[in-house]
Amino acid sequence: MPSARRLSSVSPSWRAAIIGVLASLPATVLINRFPNSEATVGAGAVLVGGAIAGAVANGPEDAGAAGARAGFLGGVTETLVFLIGEGPTVLRPRTQIPFFVFAVVMILCASPLLGWVFGRLGGRISAVVSR
C-alpha cells in the first residue's frame, strides 16, 4: 500500500487531472448512450476530464494546467486505443506508417490544447457556481 508521503508528492495540477480523467469515464459512458453518439474514451477524457479537472483545480491559474494535463492523459489513452484497434490494419502496408505516425503526433499535440480550453471552462464554471 502506498504511503501518504508518496501520494502527497503529486502536484495539485496532476492530482486534479487524474481525478478529472477518472471521473470522466462514467460521463463518457453516459454520453455514448445518446443516439448517434460516437464518443471514445480518449475524447471523453480530453473534453469532459479537462472540464472536471478545471473545476476541481485550485484557482483559475491551476485550472488551465490541470485541464492540459488531463488532455494529455486523454490523448495518451486515445493513442493507445488507436494503436490497439487500428494498428494492425494500418501497419500492414508499409506505406501507411507515415499516416500512422502523423495521426499519433496530431492526437498528442491537439489533446493538451483542447484539455486546456475545457479546463479553463471548467474553472470558470466552478468560480461562477461558488460565488
Residue 100 lies in a domain: yes
- The domain tally of the chain equals 1
- pLDDT over threshold 80, residue 5: no
Read off the pTM.
Answer: 0.84
Is 50 inside a domain boundary?
yes
- Would you say residue 3 has pLDDT above 70? no
Using the predicted structure, report yes or no on whether residue 88 has a pLDDT greater than 90. no
Q: In 3D, which of 124, 127, 6, 113 has the Cα closest to residue 65?
A: 113
Q: Is the pLDDT of residue 1 over 90?
A: no
Report the candidate in 58, 57, 61, 64 with the shortest Cα–Cα distance to residue 18. 57
Separation of alpha carbons 73 and 17, rounded Å? 8
pLDDT in tens, 25-48: 898 888 888 888 877 888 888 999
Structural domain span for residue 49:
11-129
Nearest in space to 85 (alpha carbons), one of 77, 94, 95:
77
